[in-house]
Chains A and B, each alone.
Chain A
Amino acid sequence: MHTLRRFGSTRQLTNLAMRKVSTLVLAEHQGGKLAPATLSAIAASKKIGGEVTLLVAGKDVAGVATEAGKADGIKKLLVADDASLEGLLPERIVPVVLASQRQFNFTHIVGPSTAFAKNVLPRVAAKLDVSPISDVLDIKSENIFVRPIYAGNAIQTLLANDAVKILTVRASSFDAVATGSNIVPEAAAKADGVNQDTSTYVKSEISKSERPELSSAKKVISGGRGMKSGNNFKMLYDLADKIDAAVGASRAAVDAGFVPNDLQVGQTGKIVAPELYVAIGISGAIQHLAGMKDSKTIVAINKDPEAPIFQVADVGLVADLFKAVPEILQKIDGYRSK
């Protein structure tokens, strides 16, 4: 039995060496729009090498597919549009991914590290008996990947032995591919024998916001426990609107009920790396830093000069935020580049 198994895996390796690298990217979309994270996942897949196929799955996704077909760097666009895929339940999306995998025998399956792909891809991995690799920051070769562990306090480089590599990639680590192509969508292979009884999509409560989406925004303004109440976040929204920024928050601000949980930046919330990150009334716990320390410029406003946030801030201001933020609001127009 053991000898057999070893023989089997050697053969698998030989096959792999001969197999041409090809990647399937799982498109992320929400509210009928392609998520920018998809374009970053395509960029990561181009780094692996080989042909890239994009799969758009969902209900009424014709619009998303048209948008997706513009992405540079993809060779093929597969579309699975079916009413049963409403709500993108993993029990129904996974068979669709597997059907495409059976058809084309991809060496890599990639998605962005978003709630959707994190939910779906490990289940795909279970079906293929491979070990998925989460939140990849860099791709060294077709089987060597770099990822953060311990809330980003250590960076691991690993060699993946499995025949199929399943990756989620951190969108902020890969520059989105351009959009100028015109790929014609094809129908994806049909998934068969899907049990639709085990899970049911009921509804979504999506927070409406006119501001840029947090994980892809170029500027982010975040508030922490120091904001003292949800009402005080109005100051941050006003400031965000002035400079076209997204608003984020620390876990403390979410737990205190100041803002909804989808604004949380950190190890277990969103990971952002904007050009400008302004941390207001945030002490800078390890778990929060994990979500924002790759930002290009970090600004901290905190009345405690010893707050750990100042150790990562490029520009720090020790001040009472209730004085500083209104003053910034008042003066910022005078400093803005025209």
Chain B
Amino acid sequence: MALRILVGCKRVVDYAVKVRVKPDHTGVVTQGVKHSLNPFDEIAVEEAVRLKEKKQAEEIIAVSCGPAACQETLRTALAMGADRAIHVEVPDAEYATLQPLHVAKILAKLTERTKANLILVGKQAIDDDSNQTAQIAAGLLDWPQATFVSKVELQGNDSANIIREVDGGLEHIKVKLPAVISADLRLNEPRYATLPNIMKAKKKPLEKLTAKDLGVDLAPRIKILAVEEPPVREAGAKVEDVDQLLAKLKELGRI
């Protein structure tokens, strides 16, 4: 089976930005804040591109769900080597309560539309930190899942040998395709998009859809009651030397 990969690309607040909670406690400030492709999704895109470079994949379709600005995120994926992109536009109001369940339903529907047989996503988005989309998509499709993956090795064209990062070490499994894979940090080192590739990416096809086109209901499953700052730690004191450090720890009863 020729491999057609659907790769999930979420636009998130850049990992280096220190987020601020809105004064009205409805969320965090995202306007005027630098956004980029979720770092784990970058790793997913990279893995898809490597599979294509090894001639193991035929087509890579980058998908993003969210407001219009997600198209920039998709252009990044295209510049890295994705062949085409699908933007599932979700208006801001609905985007606030959009959850992995909704996104997974969209991805599942898109596998029919694109005849994809592998979904590659990051293990978690660094904004909602949910770590759910791959697992839910696999459940909806009844496909096997390989999560927190640090190595993918295709076996022929119908199965993959996988190494997963688990508590306490590594785990080796084998999954049959079609399957869903979620990328962990150590799967690969994502490439930078070069200027010529960024220019070329502008000409690659980007299809716009809505959740309705796909028959996916985005009704909110949660209501956000409040978003608050985490409790602030009381500032500690610096000590001069090792003796003071140890004396302090003894005083605190920690050693």
Contact = CB atoms under 8 A, between A and B. Distances in A.
A37 B128 CA distance: 23
Nearest to A129: B101
Interface stretch (B54-62, B64-72, B203-211, B238-246): B238-246
B154 interface: no
Given A125-B132, A315-B245, A158 B173 contact: no
Contact of A317 (B128, B171, B222, B245): B245
A290 to B, nearest CB: 8
User: Chain A, interface size: which category?
Assistant: 35 or more
Given A135-B129, A202-B173, A154 B255 contact: no
Interface stretch (B45-53, B191-199, B229-237): B229-237
Interface in A124-169: 124-127, 129-135, 144, 148-162
A160 B249 contact: no
B79 to A, nearest CB: 24
B80 interface: no
B144 interface: yes
A184 interface: no
Interface in B133-177: 133, 135-140, 142-148, 150, 161, 164-176
A195 B185 CA distance: 30
Contact of B233 (A154, A305, A312, A315): A312
A199 B249 contact: no
B7 to A, nearest CB: 19
B252 interface: yes
B96 to A, nearest CB: 11
Given A149-B129, A158-B223, A198-B175, A297 B242 contact: no
Interface string A106-139: 0000000011101111111111011111110000
A40 to B, nearest CB: 14
B2 interface: no
B221 A161 contact: yes
Contacts of B133: 122
A261 B150 contact: yes
Contact of B139 (A124, A262, A310): A124
A207 B169 CA distance: 5
Contact of B170 (A127, A130, A153, A204): A204
A115 B230 contact: no
B90 to A, nearest CB: 15
B242 A317 contact: yes
Given A150-B28, A317-B238, A293 B139 contact: no
A72 interface: no
Query: Chain B interface mostly helix, strand, loop or mixed?
Result: mixed
Interface string A176-216: 00000000000000000001011111111111000001010
B132 A122 contact: yes
A298 interface: yes
Interface stretch (B15-23, B81-89, B110-118): B15-23
Given A261-B150, A297-B249, 20 more contacts: A89-B173, A115-B165, A116-B166, A131-B99, A131-B221, A150-B127, A153-B28, A154-B28, A161-B221, A201-B172, A202-B161, A204-B169, A276-B254, A293-B230, A298-B236, A313-B236, A314-B234, A316-B237, A328-B245, A337-B250
25 contacts: A30-B167, A94-B139, A118-B135, A122-B139, A125-B132, A131-B99, A150-B13, A152-B230, A157-B225, A158-B222, A159-B222, A219-B254, A254-B186, A255-B185, A260-B169, A262-B166, A275-B254, A299-B245, A299-B249, A305-B238, A312-B233, A312-B236, A315-B236, A316-B237, A317-B238
Give 7 closest A-B pairs by Cβ, nearest first. A126-B139, A122-B135, A131-B221, A314-B236, A202-B172, A123-B139, A122-B132
Interface of B: 13, 15-16, 18-19, 21, 28, 40, 99-102, 104, 123-124, 126-133, 135-140, 142-148, 150, 161, 164-176, 179, 184-186, 220-230, 233-239, 241-250, 252-255
Interface of A: 30, 87, 89-91, 94, 114-116, 118-127, 129-135, 144, 148-162, 195, 197-207, 213, 215, 219, 243, 251, 254-255, 260-262, 267-268, 270, 275-276, 286-287, 293, 297-299, 301, 305, 310-319, 324, 327-328, 331-332, 334-337
